Amino acid sequence: MTETTGTAGALPAGTPPEIADLGNMVLGAARLQVLHAVAVLHIADYLAGGALTAEEVADRAGSDPRATFRLMRAAASLGVLSSEGGRRFGLTGMGHLLRDGVPGSFRAFTLVQAGHAHWQAWGLFPESVRLGASQAKQALGADIFDYYARPDHAEEAALFAASMAELSTLTVQGAVAALDVSGLSNVVDVGGADGQFVLELITAHPQLRGQVLDLPHAVARAREEAARRGLSDRFSAVAGDFFNAVPGADLYLLKMVLHDWDDDRAGIILRNCRAAAPDGGRALVVEAVIGASGQPDPAVLSDMTMLCAAAGMERDLGEFDALFAASGWRRDQTYLVGPGYYALELAVT
């Protein structure tokens, strides 16, 4: 093994000083796939009880010992694992978040972002920019949500739902804690998947009844989750299409729904909610909000993901307000509910 500690030297004359930073960006795909392999092989789960050698992990994971060492060495360089010497590695705080089923886990999100559907779509990203539309259909043979709805992709669909639930945990808690539900009796979670948001809300407020509206493959999970929480008596799940109609409700929850669609389609969803809302009806939109241009902002990277894999976009507050005004709503309040996510409270106009 070649020892590089203490090696001195300088970059060749004329080398741009930014080359290292740009090189790190170019290798972003490799970093994601390192995390992907750690997640797929459950390496963080194996290390939860203490440091292990790469050979011990390989024995548990059924992987090649030398390649496993190389992977764990790379993960340690990223701060996901700690190098304990003697080919032993431990788990860092960041690595803990790649464990399965722990609070704040990013495991499912990592598996989705580096998995087949998204990875294939990213391969055509320049065409998405050139044409102004996602090329997921060209990459996968179907739009991303139609792809997940196919029975033979049920496992990927469940993983996608789990990743959204992972991302939503802190956001949902923040929104439930901040939202005033005085005078409300029924809430519809529009495109609510497994119902995490509305179920947390009706748990916190026993006077509320909740409902999820989503596609048929999603509502079964919502019913199962409500039963698991003992909330079936105050909850229902309806299979439907929010582009056609939504049930009547005092409050509509739209968490990370509008960013999946362009302005025309997002406007249809909002108008359908407005048409079904009573006088005094309200909506709560939870989304990432793009800030000032040119500043580090996770929302703009999420916007690139939407351009790559879906038909939507992230928006700034001005774009949201224009969308709301054209759909019969006005924004009354805005507040942070989780890392990078805001609640936009709407009232009917």
Hey, where are the domains in the chain?
19-101, 164-348
Q: Which one is catalytic: 118, 153, 217, 259?
A: 259
Give me the torsion for CA of 189, 193, 194, 198, rounded to 10°.
-10
Query: 223 in helix, strand or coil?
Result: helix
Q: Is residue 259 annotated as a catalytic residue, yes or no?
A: yes
Q: From first to last of the 349 residues of the chain, give the pLDDT tens digit.
A: 445 555 556 667 777 878 888 999 999 999 999 999 999 999 999 999 999 999 999 999 999 999 999 999 999 999 999 999 999 999 999 999 999 989 889 999 999 999 999 999 999 999 999 999 999 999 999 999 899 989 999 999 889 988 888 888 889 999 999 999 999 999 999 999 889 999 999 999 999 999 999 988 789 989 999 999 999 999 999 999 999 999 999 999 999 999 999 999 999 999 999 999 999 999 999 999 999 998 889 999 999 999 999 989 999 999 999 999 999 999 999 999 988 899 999 999 9
Question: How many Å apart are CA 153 and CA 135, to the nearest integer?
Answer: 19
Q: How far is residue 332 CA from its own chain's centroid?
A: 26
Q: Which CATH class is domain 19-101?
A: mainly alpha
Cα–Cα distance measured from residue 300 to residue 296, given in angstroms and rounded to the nearest whole number: 8
In sequence order, the 6+-apart residues with CB closer than 8 A to the CB of 160 are 112, 117, 148
What is the pLDDT at residue 8? 59
Fold of 164-348: Rossmann fold (3.40.50)
pTM for this prediction = 0.85
**Radius of gyration from C-alpha coordinates of the chain:** 23
The 8-class DSSP code of residue 4 comes to -
Q: Helix, strand, or coil here: 100? A: coil
- Structure-token pair, residue 7: 């090696």
Question: Is the torsion defined by CA of 266, 267, 270, 272 positive or negative?
Answer: negative
Q: Is the dihedral of CA 7, 10, 16, 17 positive or negative?
A: positive
Asked whether 219 and 249 are in contact (CB, 8 A), the reply is: no
Distance separating alpha carbons of residues 134 and 311, to the nearest angstrom: 6
Beta-bridge mates of residue 287:
342
Q: What is the distance between the alpha carbons of residues 7 and 151, in angstroms, rounded to a whole number?
A: 56
Q: Would you call 2 helix, strand, or coil by DSSP?
A: coil
| Through-space distance between the first and last CA atoms of the chain, rounded to whole angstroms | 70
